[in-house]
Amino acid sequence: MEFASLYRRYRPRCFADMKGQTHVVAALQNAIKQNRVFHAYLLSGPRGTGKTTAARILAKALNCDNTKDGEPCCECDSCVSIEKGTSFDLHELDAASNNKVDDIRDLLSKVALGTPGRTKVYLLDEVHMLTSGAENALLKTLEEPPDHVIFVMATTEPHKVVETIRSRAQHLELNLLPTEQLRDLLKEVSQDAGLKVDDEGFNQAIREAKGSARDALSALDKIVAGGSNSYNSSIEDLLHGIAERNSEKTLKAINDQISTGKEPRIIGEHLLSALREAFLFSMGVPLKGLTDEEKIKTENFVEQVTPAVITRSLEILGLALVEMRRAPDPRVDLEVALVKMTQKESSSESFLIDQLESRLANLEKIIKDVDLINNKSATRDKAMEVAEQTGGSVKEIRPPSNNAESNEIDETEQIENSQKSDSGGKEFPTNQQIIDSWADELLPKLSKKARARFSAGKPINTDKNGLTIALPNEPHLRRCSELIGEVEAAIKNTFGVVMPVLLSVGDAAVASVSPPNPSKPPAPTKTDENVNPSELVEADVTAGSAVEKISQAFPGAEIVEPE
């Protein structure tokens, strides 16, 4: 007896045998039972979901002599001939290789010819591959075919089918099968075929199928033949290398697999699948289709890394797999991707994180202070409102006469306490310590731009307000003020304290740029000059205007008022 692959031996013969496509089966069966078969159908879905199978079953049901509830009998001459591929009632055309105008014209020239059965079915596979001219040639016949002709078009990419064709056909979408349905299908086939497959073999077939029933049966054929490619230690080594940020370990694992004859792209796809399972598990999605051993390995990997590391690895590996399609040596792209995935945070990234943490802490403190002020103000306003409504009064508690001095002391203590809190209880470094470490330690930690700008600066004073740096002039000060955060981060990394940085021009220890203090609003400007209203005179409206300048340019000229 001639051997046949599992997916051919167990291809569905009737609608009832189709797995997971209930909506498609119901639509076609009801159309046959109610004699409301559409003149054109568009079946779309991923590979191996049953598009061609559904079209053949439809052709059998339309020409079967003994249909029952829309199902073909699969025993009459018409059904048997369609199954064998010798029927004149079913014409299949691969549009991927017969996509030219002449191919479609040749097909359409025979559409009106009669056949032995009641209905003539044309199956156009991969219809999205037709050229523009071929689509136009098909369009007219597709719109008004002969009464005995049915067109069934199949495609994996329905969005590429022109709208004029899609609008003239009834579109039915076939779906991939979930894990449990694939498992039931594989167990049913294995039992009927007398195959001995363990759970690990089923899991491997399901993992390779990715929802396709045909691919699952093909994978099962390979596993039974001894070609099982189960979850091996090489993928585990790659995951360990990523978790440990060990480039050497990952590159060795890649070389070990390539030396056994595996393609780099296949290795990358297996690693991508393992990372995807780890990502789903880290997000709380239960793992299905894996053995207990595989689940344990995935859980151990997730415990060693953060979801951000997994996401970054998925992005890097996904881009590498795309680039590997056009690369002269795909191995290089895979190795570079693994090195990127195992790299530790660079110094610039660490600096940015420290800078962001410092600024975020300051922002949270400002928000807290503003909320406190607003709450106090709102409470006082509410009390005044209640007092006015009830006819009472609110006594405002005023501080004693020496309040300015006590407030100044309180504010100073508050600033000192805040600075100690921000610096973790550590004291600021002395001015001499800053000067000694300025050129050798602090400046090298800055970016190139900041180092170039602050190299002309000179630390001149260190006090409770922070570090004051003198700069040559005002323009230089304004340019350096944009990069103060880098200097503060460098001080924090060197001395372990958060120290504000103030800028000044020359050697004057007066900060031209300093961070705002929301707890101490700026004092109003005092005016000591006494003004006598009787001494004021009306200003000349033309003073400083264009009229005055013209008068000065042309002596003796008179200003003529418009009538």
The pairs formed by 342-348 with CB atoms below 8 angstroms and a separation of 24 or more are 342/241, 342/242, 342/244, 342/245, 342/246, 342/247, 342/250, 343/245, 343/247, 344/245, 348/447
The answer to whether residue 416 is domain-embedded is no
In this structure, are 209 and 128 located in the same domain? Answer: no
Q: What is the pLDDT of residue 514?
A: 42
Q: What is the pLDDT of residue 143?
A: 81
In this structure, are 165 and 185 located in the same domain? Answer: no
**Interatomic CA distance for residues 559 and 445, integer angstroms:** 67
Q: Which of 323, 319, 322, 320 is nearest to 334 (CA)?
A: 320
The answer to whether residue 561 is domain-embedded is no
The answer to whether residue 556 is domain-embedded is no
**Interatomic CA distance for residues 288 and 30, integer angstroms:** 35
32 in Cβ contact with 61 (< 8 Å):
yes
**Interatomic CA distance for residues 374 and 200, integer angstroms:** 65
Domain with residue 158: its CATH number is 3.40.50.300
In this structure, are 18 and 148 located in the same domain? Answer: yes
Buried/exposed code over 295-308 (b: 16+ C-beta within 10 A; e: otherwise)? eebbeebbeebeee
Domain with residue 291: its CATH number is 1.20.272.10
> Consecutive sets of 10 residues in the chain, 563 residues long: mean pLDDT of each?
78 91 92 91 92 93 90 91 90 86 86 86 91 87 86 92 91 90 91 86 83 90 72 75 88 86 87 89 78 79 89 91 88 91 63 64 77 63 54 44 46 49 65 86 87 88 86 87 88 86 70 41 46 52 54 61 50
The answer to whether residue 442 is domain-embedded is yes
In this structure, are 129 and 33 located in the same domain? Answer: yes
- Alpha helix positions (H), 391-430: 403-422
64 in Cβ contact with 73 (< 8 Å):
yes
- Domain end call among 516, 531, 549: 516
**Interatomic CA distance for residues 354 and 348, integer angstroms:** 10
**Interatomic CA distance for residues 370 and 364, integer angstroms:** 10
* Confidence (pTM): 0.55
Q: What is the pLDDT of residue 511?
A: 38
The answer to whether residue 429 is domain-embedded is yes
In this structure, are 162 and 80 located in the same domain? Answer: yes
Rg (CA), the chain: 41
**Interatomic CA distance for residues 418 and 98, integer angstroms:** 79
DSSP-based three-state secondary structure for 333: helix
Domain with residue 464: its CATH number is 3.30.300.180
Tally of domains in the chain: 4
The answer to whether residue 259 is domain-embedded is yes
In this structure, are 148 and 61 located in the same domain? Answer: yes
In this structure, are 453 and 432 located in the same domain? Answer: yes
**Interatomic CA distance for residues 410 and 496, integer angstroms:** 27
The answer to whether residue 12 is domain-embedded is yes
Task: Quote the tokens at residue 395.
Answer: 């006594």
- Domain end call among 165, 200, 224: 224
- Domain end call among 224, 242, 257: 224
In this structure, are 455 and 486 located in the same domain? Answer: yes
Instruction: Please say whether the dihedral angle defined by the alpha carbons of residues 413, 418, 421 and 427, taken in this order, is positive or negative.
Output: negative
Q: What is the pLDDT of residue 348?
A: 46
Domain with 485 in it: 424-516
The answer to whether residue 382 is domain-embedded is no
Instruction: Give backbone dihedrals phi and psi of 359, rounded to 5 degrees, phi first.
Output: -65, -35
In this structure, are 156 and 208 located in the same domain? Answer: no
In this structure, are 35 and 144 located in the same domain? Answer: yes
**Interatomic CA distance for residues 382 and 538, integer angstroms:** 46
In this structure, are 247 and 217 located in the same domain? Answer: no
In this structure, are 65 and 79 located in the same domain? Answer: yes
